[in-house]
Amino acid sequence: MISLRNIVFIFSIFTLALGRHTLKIIEGEDADIKDYPYMVAFLQDNATMFLCGAAIINENTLLTAAHCFFYENPYTATITYGATIYYEGTKRNISKAFIHPNFTGEYASTNDIGVLKIDPPLVFSETVQPIKLPQSNTPNPEGKIANFAGWGISSFDLFHQTIKLQKVNLTIVDMKTCVEIYKNTDTPLDPETQICAQADMSDGKMRGACYGDSGSPLVVDGVTYGITSKCPGGCGNATTPTIYTRVAGYLDWLSDKL
Ligand SMILES: *[C@@H]1O[C@H](CO)[C@@H](O)[C@H](O)[C@H]1NC(C)=O
Ligand SMILES: *[C@@H]1O[C@H](CO)[C@@H](O)[C@H](O)[C@H]1NC(C)=O
Ligand SMILES: *[C@@H]1O[C@H](CO)[C@@H](O)[C@H](O)[C@H]1NC(C)=O
Ligand SMILES: *[C@@H]1O[C@H](CO)[C@@H](O)[C@H](O)[C@H]1NC(C)=O
Ligand SMILES: *[C@@H]1O[C@H](CO)[C@@H](O)[C@H](O)[C@H]1NC(C)=O
């Protein structure tokens, strides 16, 4: 079940008009939580409504998108983790939330980053593990493959939100190209705080992050370079890459929250 509120606003409502395409997000590949043990689901309404994804950074810290909690009270949210089918995961409450103070809630806003604390800490296992943050001087992994996972919708026609973790390979788009694509649009790219990724759509199928994937990490070689933020051209648009918050641009802000 997905409500409009659940369509985490950052993905433009305009794209709903494209719902006639048979849009298969993430192209039907089931993932196993053992391969993505850092994945966490955020639920709202007494854990009945899926809201966003997030990533485990350490035993009591999660990284997500600010927009997931801009209109939602983080202290009434529930997280689930350690399960491929999100509602089968262990449930926990959030003890503290840090939403970036300069996230404005506008679609064009950067600073789409938030940290959530869990107390007592998570217990790590085969299905519960942290993911690394990038180093401050690490170059963007342009051209590399990101193994992306999420519980976002998997079919646009039915507006079907998956209960089973899905995966798709994305390529990190080089920054110059992405800046060029978003130049003179209402969501210009800030190369310091944003990074782009795009699925291979050369077979003509639309794929990539979509509603509900917000907050999920963009991971390359075990490092989370991005946080799913917005899809200005709509989900699975072959000409407009998905925009992620560039984690390396927020290491100072994160340092006292880990
Ligand atoms: C929340 O869900 C639990 C478990 O399903 C239930 O016992 C509880 O009454 C619910 N609380 C509210 C406020 O609906
Ligand atoms: C979360 O908080 C609610 C309200 O305080 C409480 O009823 C519930 O048991 C808590 N859930 C967990 C998993 O700790
Ligand atoms: C928020 O923006 C103000 C004004 O540009 C700046 O001084 C401040 O450092 C920013 N806060 C953070 C946490 O980046
Ligand atoms: C995704 O990338 C991995 C390498 O990171 C590769 O092993 C796998 O075959 C790719 N999957 C698809 C569907 O291209
Ligand atoms: C992709 O996005 C561009 C720019 O917003 C738009 O003009 C185009 O119609 C979109 N394509 C599809 C297939 O939605």
Query: Which of 39, 37, 60, 63 shows the shortest CA–CA distance to 121?
Result: 60
Atom of ligand 2 nearest to the CA of 92: 13
According to the CATH classification, is domain 145-248 in 2.40.10.10?
A: yes
pLDDT at 204: 84
Full pLDDT tens readout for the chain, 258 residues: 233 333 443 343 333 323 333 334 455 589 999 999 999 999 888 888 888 999 999 999 999 999 988 878 888 899 999 999 999 999 999 999 999 999 998 889 999 999 999 999 999 999 999 999 999 888 999 999 999 999 877 765 555 667 889 999 999 999 999 999 999 999 999 999 999 999 998 888 888 888 788 999 999 999 999 999 998 888 888 899 999 999 999 999 999 999
Cα 92 to ligand 2 centroid, rounded to whole Å: 7
Closest ligand relative to 87 C-alpha:
1
Closest ligand relative to 77 C-alpha:
2
CATH architecture, domain defined by 37-130+253-257: Beta Barrel (2.40)
pLDDT at 236: 84
Closest ligand relative to 167 C-alpha:
4
pLDDT at 10: 37
What DSSP state is assigned to residue 120? S
Could you tell me if the CB of 104 is within 6 A of ligand 3? no
Enter the tokens of residue 87. 């509602």
Cβ contacts of 178-186, under 8 Å, gap ≥ 24? 178/241, 178/243, 181/239, 181/240, 181/241, 182/232, 182/240, 182/243, 185/232, 186/107, 186/108, 186/232
Backbone angles phi, psi at 239, to 5 degrees: -105, -15
Closest ligand relative to 91 C-alpha:
2
pLDDT at 217: 96
User: For 165-221, where are the E strands, in sequence order?
Assistant: 166-172, 194-199, 217-220
Nearest protein CA to atom 12 of ligand 2, as residue: 92
Domain 37-130+253-257 shares a fold with domain 145-248: yes
User: Ligand 5 pocket by C-beta < 6 Å: which residues?
Assistant: 18, 232-234, 237, 239-240
Task: Let me know how many helices (H) and strands (E) the chain has, helices first.
Answer: 2, 15
Q: What is the dihedral of CA 149, 29, 220, 15, to 10 degrees?
A: -60
Query: Which of 108, 223, 103 shows the shortest CA–CA distance to 172?
Result: 223
Atom of ligand 3 nearest to the CA of 100: 13
- Residue spans of the domains in the chain: they are 37-130+253-257, 145-248
pLDDT at 28: 54
Atom of ligand 5 nearest to the CA of 206: 13
Q: Which of 76, 93, 96, 118 to mutate to test the pocket of ligand 2 (most atoms within 8 A of CB)?
A: 93
Could you tell me if the CB of 169 is within 6 A of ligand 4? yes
Nearest protein CA to atom 6 of ligand 2, as residue: 93
CB 216 within 8 A of CB 39: yes
User: Ligand 2 pocket by C-beta < 6 Å: which residues?
Assistant: 91-93
pLDDT at 23: 36
pLDDT at 212: 81
Angstrom distance (rounded) from CA 180 to CA 244: 16
Angstrom distance (rounded) from CA 217 to CA 60: 17
Atom of ligand 3 nearest to the CA of 101: 13
Enter the tokens of residue 201. 């759509």
pLDDT at 71: 79
